[in-house]
Amino acid sequence: MYYNTKGGARIRELRIAKNFTQDDLAEHMNVSHGYISFIESGKRGCSADVRIALSNLFGVSIDYIVLGTVTYTAPDSAALKADIQALIGQLEKFREQLQPMLLMVKRMLSIMGIVELLRAAKCCTWYNVLLLSLIAAAVCMRRLPYYTEILLFVWVLAIVAFALFMSCMKEIHSIGFWHILPCALMLPIFFYSAVEIRRWPQGLAVLIFVTLGCTVNDVGAYFVGRAVGTHKLAPTISPGRTVEGGLGGMVSSVILMSLIASLYSQCAGVEMQYGWLLLYLFLASIVGQFGNLAMSTIKRTVGIKDFSRVLPGHGGILDRFDSFLFAAPFAVLYGNMTGCFL
């Protein structure tokens, strides 16, 4: 309770100005006459809900009832704009300070994935780790002209190398340094692609969209394959994968992600190129499943279930990012060619 003699006097003035008696006010407030009398005399305080009811009844602010006349000063628009600009500047400065840390995390994850590959191929020597780490560090640096185009060209070559490796799997009984080199190149290209997407005007939304699309594709393929899968997709590489599961993942990804994109377009006021978007979802589903099969090919050849146990319940870095390794660079390539995400 709040005891305020002056507040009670202001309530009395407001009551009289409205030509209310204490009985009239008590009836409107659904309280007793004595309660109103005690409030006006300052012998009793008002609870918050009573102040709100009085404010609504008399058409004044709660500040006036409690404090009396309140002077409101409109904010200076120029000063407000300056404060906003200063805040934006601080956020930009913080982002610049954060970039070296993000670059370090990107390189560390690339090196961890490289070590997983080398351990799987049983060629995890210090000079191999050093060589591939230097390559990863060089990929993560943006210095050359046409840098993105060069990396995407390397990505296409890696896709071709993986396809050849998968087609010759029966003849390959062990893998070495040169077999895993394409995958080792995919790791820094993947992390670079994620950063490149983040630079786009709607970069964060696109990055979430790509990530969610891969997840929906994997989940849809798993459940549809478990439910109706009968025809094996690649029995020598991944016996659990079926053609029905692959199609189910593709359809799930196209339908659900199209709905999400449409909802985002309406909420954010962003114009969406639905024709290019549907084509991307169709192709990205194929690319993501190819990434899963590519990683499964390596694991099947060396006879392991997971690349490592660095992520409890998920395996290693490569186990977690298998489809993203291929989907993120493809999103950059597709976005630059069609302008779908720009």
- What percent of the chain shows pLDDT beyond 90? 4
Shared domain for 171 and 227, answered yes or no, is yes
Among 43, 67, 91, identify where a domain stops: 67
Q: Which amino acid is at 316?
A: G
- Verify that 262 and 194 share a domain, yes or no: yes
User: Does residue 323 have a pLDDT over 70?
Assistant: yes
pLDDT band for 288, please (50, 70, 90 cuts).
Answer: confident
Which of 159-173, 183-197, 211-225 is least confident? 159-173
Look at residue 73 and tell me whether its pLDDT is greater than 60.
no
Give the separation between CA 103 and CA 41, rounded to whole angstroms: 69
pLDDT computed for residue 71 by the predictor: 47
Q: Is residue 72 part of a domain?
A: no
Task: Flag whether pLDDT at 88 surpasses 80.
Answer: no
CATH number at residue 57: 1.10.260.40
The mean per-residue pLDDT over the stretch 304-311 comes to 78
Q: What average pLDDT does range 153-178 have in this prediction?
A: 74
30-58 average pLDDT score = 74
Average pLDDT, the chain: 78
Whether the pLDDT of residue 284 is over 80: the answer is yes
H runs (alpha helix) in the chain? 5-17, 22-29, 33-41, 48-58, 62-67, 77-120, 126-139, 147-167, 177-198, 203-228, 243-268, 274-302, 317-320, 322-338
d(CA 335, CA 255): 20
Question: Does 183 lie in the same domain as 55?
Answer: no
Specify whether 37 is located in the same domain as 99. Answer: no
Query: Residue 104 pLDDT > 70, yes or no?
Result: yes
Which band of pLDDT confidence, cut at 50, 70 and 90, is reported for residue 255?
very high
Please, which pLDDT band fits residue 251 given cuts at 50, 70 and 90? very high
State the DSSP code for 75: P
Q: What is the pTM of this model?
A: 0.65
User: CB atoms < 10 A from the CB of 237, how many?
Assistant: 20
Please name the amino acid found at residue 10: R
Q: Is residue 203 part of a domain?
A: yes
Residues 278 and 138 grouped into a single domain: yes
**Whether residues 166 and 215 fall in one domain:** yes
For residues 208 and 246, membership in a common domain is answered with: yes
- Shared-domain flag, residues 292 and 323: yes
Domain limit, last residue, from 45, 67, 89: 67
Number of domains in the chain: 2
Q: Which two tokens stand for residue 311?
A: 């992520």
Residue 74 domain flag: no
Task: Say yes or no: 216 and 298 in one domain.
Answer: yes
Q: In this predicted structure, what is the pLDDT of residue 68?
A: 67
pLDDT of residue 252: 92
Residue type, 172: I
- Nearest one of 177, 138, 172 to 154, comparing CA atoms: 138
Task: Return the minimum-mean-pLDDT range out of 11-15, 57-61, 77-81.
Answer: 77-81
Looking at the domain assignment, is residue 299 inside a domain?
A: yes
Whether the per-residue pLDDT at 309 is higher than 50: the answer is yes
Residue 21's nearest CA partner among 10, 30, 33 is 33
Please check whether residues 90 and 170 belong to one and the same domain. yes
Can you spell out the DSSP letters for 126-186? Answer: HHHHHHHHHHHHHHT---STTHHHHHHHHHHHHHHHHHHHHHTGGG-----HHHHHHHHHH
Report whether pLDDT(249) > 70.
Answer: yes
Q: What are phi and psi of 311, to 5 degrees?
A: -115, 100
Kindly tell me if the per-residue pLDDT of 290 is higher than 60.
Answer: yes
pLDDT exceeds cutoff 80 at 332:
yes
Stronger pLDDT, 181 or 147, i.e. the higher one: 181
The C-alpha atoms of residue 234 and residue 290 are separated, in whole angstroms, by 11
φ, ψ (nearest 5 deg) of residue 125:
-100, 160
Same domain, 217 and 303: yes
Confidence of residue 70 (pLDDT cuts 50, 70, 90): low
Query: How is residue 313 annotated by DSSP?
Result: T
Domain region containing 319 = 79-338
